[in-house]
Structure 1
């Protein structure tokens, strides 16, 4: 294959090609660009011509470079590797259809913008194997079976083989309505399975139904013969398809997907494809009228609900066909169709709870009936429903009165010395007899009459203004959780649903869940058991129920006799621990008052040191710091700065694991993994084996090259120990930075030929083997 800088064009008045490769005896020509300037100059293309066969690969991002790999057996063209600005694409040239090769790594994470991220630990082995097999068959349908042509290096396993395998899933929701499952148990983040909700819902710009024959004729007549390649698609079909929340049960595989228009899809994993399956569509109106709950009398100004694909033969039912994989068996539509802000799943109870900015609802997907719904709006808000936060009206007198009270409160807190001086001038202090003997003066703080001693001094707390009770977003449901805990009786656990809102309110609903065959005859019921109103009215971020051993209470726990339970209620400003069922405060930590930070994420994590295992509370603040707190005294164990405080997207996308790790979006196209524990950490340990004689040994030189690092970096770095048959280069990437030894090795690297681009004082000696000097290294040095 020869690569030349000539232009290869298609038709007259074409744009010049950026790169061109030609294999004469194979009659293969590959070039980028060269499209007709009038019609296709804005397209990013790579053209492949092999005899009479001609295909133009059309990409959604800019083409950077490409190269062709060859077979080691017959030196025939094997694959085409294309580097794009947003992704990496490989094309199988041995296949007659020139299909793409699935990537083992460097998969485009942001094929569509990531809108949600969650981490699922310890997926059951049956669900894991089923997902892998279905994902593999899903890939083989649209990709080539050719193995990845670029190989090199060995990834070492940490410890035993069984210890290094973790069945962990990273689930990402995207703007185009797709949900992608990633294998996150190892160093390489590989794609396992993809589910798209646009096969269920109708988007605004879906193409009209036309005969397939007409489309085939249009594609045949089009010239040049374009083919869409790559998964990167920055354009969203409909913003209502965006995924807001995803919940997966690791034991049963039940999946809940919630979107931006109040749509909730309930799915199950099935290895076989189904055809003409009926699905019930349930509608829950969170803001019903008293006379007729099913009637909607308010005017909704936000986005409308999505339409459904499939046949509608019966009322509230649609007929769909689904391939093997996740298949829907229930759809719930929340009214008003606002974005879902919180969901909770209990697969053992067959319940799903949904929260929006207007309230919450509970749905039983076993009997396919709604259980209850509760509106969190005030009575004055029903007439002002819109896509914007609901505005509340109040009288002018009330507003003026509150303003003056706020001004008085601020002046008293800002000038405490003036009030003290006025009081002291009105009532002078006369020294006592003991003060006269010590020589103390009136008003002097002696050790005997000092109001606060240094030992009794407390941390200075910031003055935080009370949040108004009529906050516009106070009705939003922030978190939902299912627990089997002591809500009513001290030693008897019952099913319960906990909901936290944006104005610091916690609702506790007791559930009556029937099991077995009685489930069809007796409906699941729920009633409000208790209601907690936090005084500071900060948004409730998380609710966690634990037992006496500080273990998380799962929804799968069997209701019945139990020991003492505690609940950890975390708001944006403070974390409180209450004992159940009397809700007596056990511990409290004020983060905003003491440090000025606000809580963004809270989760339990297991930390181990030898045989000792401890459960701690992990907390992420808006300053990008991760704080580890002990339970139940909430003592600070460790504080680590993880994310920059300016990185709002990274903080909002952060997800904890139960083993002290965390993942977040470092940018729109990459995920950063961090570890707060030395017991469980994911570190790449790589080895690269090079044949003997691949590169000449580098002799040490006393002259240090400090001003020509770019020129010296053209020589590959090599390890100190070199075997006879091969060279082994180990690389441990813990923080993504080079070690001090490698930097010292680069500085002390010297050679035998004088650098013509430097003067005599800063001259650098190089090895006589000039093949190590590349054009890129010279360009870097000149720049």
Structure 2
């Protein structure tokens, strides 16, 4: 390789007869190994086996800092060079940086099978269709190891990945990209680039891509609805893409409304403009503020809508496309599958969208005159330097006073409240939509229960919109009536973190349209509101306060995430609790409706200095919490004793194969001098990658000569443990 490329390229040169290829990786090369498969006297039932298609072939397993690859040295073509295998485990979850994720429990097994079928069809195009050559250990099959959790991740390059979580083991089942909506290729790049006439012949390989071509492709919010089988993707440049999962094997769409839907222009309720189903719905959220000018990146141009037929049995086809103007990032997505109503928000406003008629029902701009110079800026301009210095000096005095009082011991700990500093009424972007909740409520007297949309804002304000739907046969023609019914202003003006409605048993209220009005009149409901500083309960429909718990005034902590979860013990006793995660990484559960903390001495689940992990925490209904500690790492923890997240994996070997290998004899007693032979795999190197200078010193300076010395390289028992740790 030329000297000018030493510092810019991470390459591995392969020369086979007259073939010369320089594999170019996007991360630093750590190690590689060449293995040859042999099936002499090897049973295919072994835990470490080789597929029949890989008989007497040579492979190269390459380890880089960010991923592991396997190529077939005998499968060469001018287009794809050496064939790249699909890794069934040890996939790189950070092939591109993770920007958001969504977790839901108890996925449909038929849906998982359909995703795997789609993945197999895609792999035939640009990957080796043969089975992966090495099969290591297996997860112990039991009832708790079923695929009861699915993780959907959104990435910086606009791709969406589906993972199954089997007790802590993430397995990639399907991955697709949204770039086809912008006129770009919809195939995942596995390094099959065009050939360039240069020497040495560089060939990019692998899927790790640390840099994105355009930050506007990044996915900020993702949501999957299991009832309608629709995937909602909110992007960085104000795009909302709605995908419909279709099953062409049954000959019909999963949604009956979209089956009979015809692409005819409909009239918008509020705007009075004609919107076509096939076009992109553009929403000018700052229309009421003509003096506002957007200073960020321009929007992306989407390709024309094509209702093309797919040859696959299963596919994600585009269903709706929405574009916000100004093109700010999507912060909130909430969908009601029973009535097909979507709620979304950006930095500039909130909308309520009718997916059936493809029109906007409510559009509310949250900008004021004070916010014009602050949108997109990291530091508020109205905060002068003098005010900033005053605040900094006040913090220093508070720290010194606390340090001086720390040596004084108290005879007893008395709980007291601390006065919270009042918030300014001129805070910028005070009405950013943070949370949304759909519920059937009776807010007005002499009215039947209707679907209500509760929207919590960052200024402590709660907006409640009441929807009135037409008859089922007139759903496509008559518009949905939407009006503002209630407004709640929290006195301490803290951002709203969580909203939900509880029934008389203090469990999440089930939204069913089949509830009779007479039956619903006798059902009492309670609105649970969690802000950063307090937890409040309001009665419905009076909206009078029932209970209040101050968090910040008593403990000094702030609520980061909260949710009502259903916990069960090993005796299958279930009860609803409020699961709260604080800004210092500690978590606690509160009883309903007394709001008593039940785990006051709960251990810290997340490090207090990891702000990304605390902000990205996602809570499931069964008490499992998932968070991304970095753009390349996932962690899970649970509050329930009935859920075990530690996988039980095993790696079985042939009887006698665990005897001495590194020195010496194999299963048949023959010596191995110039390599290691194990179950048909012959390595071409005798240097162990784990042998270091310290291990050599420890080996030579052993005090007891009569004791058998430990081998420098790991034995088969150690390798089996390492395989278990890798797969877990």
Q: TM-score, normalised by structure 2?
A: 0.76
Residues 1:375 and 1:131: Cα distance change in structure 2 (over 3 Å): same
Q: How does 1:168-187 map to 2 (within 5 A)?
A: 168-187=149-168
Q: Which residue of 2 aligns with 1:362?
A: 352
Residues 1:476 and 1:197: Cα distance change in structure 2 (over 3 Å): same
Stretch deviating more after TM superposition (549-558 or 96-105)? 549-558
**What per-residue deviation string (whole Å, max 9, x for no partner) do you get for residues 696-732 of structure 1?**
59xxxxxxxxxxxxxxxx99xxxxxxxxxxxxxxxxx
Alignment check: 8 A CA contact 2:10 2:27 kept:
yes
Of 32, 38, 45, the residue aligned with 1:66 is 32
Q: Which residue of 2 aligns with 1:584?
A: 544
How far has the Cα of 1:347 moved from its partner? 2.1
**What per-residue deviation string (whole Å, max 9, x for no partner) do you get for residues 197-244 of structure 1?**
2221369xx99xxxxxxx99x726344333221111011111111111
Separation (CA, whole Å) in 2 of partners of 1:85 and 1:144: 23
Task: Tell me, yes or no, if structure 1 residue 286 matches structure 2 residue 321.
Answer: no
Stretch deviating more after TM superposition (67-76 or 231-240)? 67-76
Alignment check: 8 A CA contact 2:288 2:365 kept:
no
Q: Which residue of 1 aligns with 2:20?
A: 54
Alignment check: 8 A CA contact 2:229 2:245 kept:
yes
Separation (CA, whole Å) in 2 of partners of 1:172 and 1:186: 18
Task: Tell me, yes or no, if structure 1 residue 525 matches structure 2 residue 481.
Answer: yes
Separation (CA, whole Å) in 2 of partners of 1:186 and 1:768: 38
Q: How many residues align?
A: 610
Of 62, 77, 83, the residue aligned with 2:63 is 83
Residues 1:625 and 1:387: Cα distance change in structure 2 (over 3 Å): same
Residues 1:600 and 1:773: Cα distance change in structure 2 (over 3 Å): closer
How far has the Cα of 1:537 moved from its partner? 0.6
How far has the Cα of 1:531 moved from its partner? 0.5
Unaligned runs of 5+ residues in structure 2 are 41-54, 187-191, 254-262, 264-276, 402-410, 665-696, 719-728
Q: Which residue of 1 aligns with 2:427?
A: 471
Separation (CA, whole Å) in 1 of partners of 2:507 and 2:164: 26
Alignment check: 8 A CA contact 1:513 1:525 kept:
yes
Q: How does 1:145-164 map to 2 (within 5 A)?
A: 145-158=129-142, 160=143, 163-164=144-145
Task: Tell me, yes or no, if structure 1 residue 645 matches structure 2 residue 608.
Answer: yes
**What per-residue deviation string (whole Å, max 9, x for no partner) do you get for residues 524-582 of structure 1?**
12111101111111111111122223332355554543212222111111111222111
Higher Rg:
1
Of 282, 301, 304, the residue aligned with 2:298 is 304
Q: TM-score, normalised by structure 1?
A: 0.71
Of 594, 600, 610, the residue aligned with 2:560 is 600
Separation (CA, whole Å) in 1 of partners of 2:298 and 2:86: 38
How far has the Cα of 1:146 moved from its partner? 2.5
Alignment check: 8 A CA contact 2:123 2:129 kept:
no
Residues 1:628 and 1:50: Cα distance change in structure 2 (over 3 Å): same
How far has the Cα of 1:64 moved from its partner? 0.4
Separation (CA, whole Å) in 1 of partners of 2:487 and 2:311: 45
Separation (CA, whole Å) in 2 of partners of 1:480 and 1:768: 64
Task: Tell me, yes or no, if structure 1 residue 327 matches structure 2 residue 317.
Answer: yes
How far has the Cα of 1:36 moved from its partner? 1.9
How far has the Cα of 1:269 moved from its partner? 0.9
How far has the Cα of 1:604 moved from its partner? 2.1
Of 556, 565, 568, the residue aligned with 2:528 is 568
Alignment check: 8 A CA contact 2:85 2:132 kept:
yes
Separation (CA, whole Å) in 1 of partners of 2:491 and 2:104: 34
Separation (CA, whole Å) in 1 of partners of 2:308 and 2:653: 55
Alignment check: 8 A CA contact 1:245 1:340 kept:
yes
Q: How does 1:267-666 map to 2 (within 5 A)?
A: 267-271=243-247, 279-289=278-288, 298-310=292-304, 325-378=315-368, 380-381=369-370, 384=373, 386-388=375-377, 459-489=415-445, 493-514=449-470, 516-555=472-511, 558=514, 560-561=516-517, 562=520, 563-609=523-569, 610-638=571-599, 639-666=602-629
Separation (CA, whole Å) in 1 of partners of 2:121 and 2:282: 35
Task: Tell me, yes or no, if structure 1 residue 93 matches structure 2 residue 56.
Answer: no
**What per-residue deviation string (whole Å, max 9, x for no partner) do you get for residues 147-190 of structure 1?**
222333332134x4xx5323421011111111111112444211
Q: Which residue of 2 aligns with 1:127?
A: 111
SS in structure 1 opposite 2:612?
helix
Separation (CA, whole Å) in 2 of partners of 1:263 and 1:587: 40
SS in structure 2 opposite 1:307?
coil
Separation (CA, whole Å) in 2 of partners of 1:76 and 1:239: 46
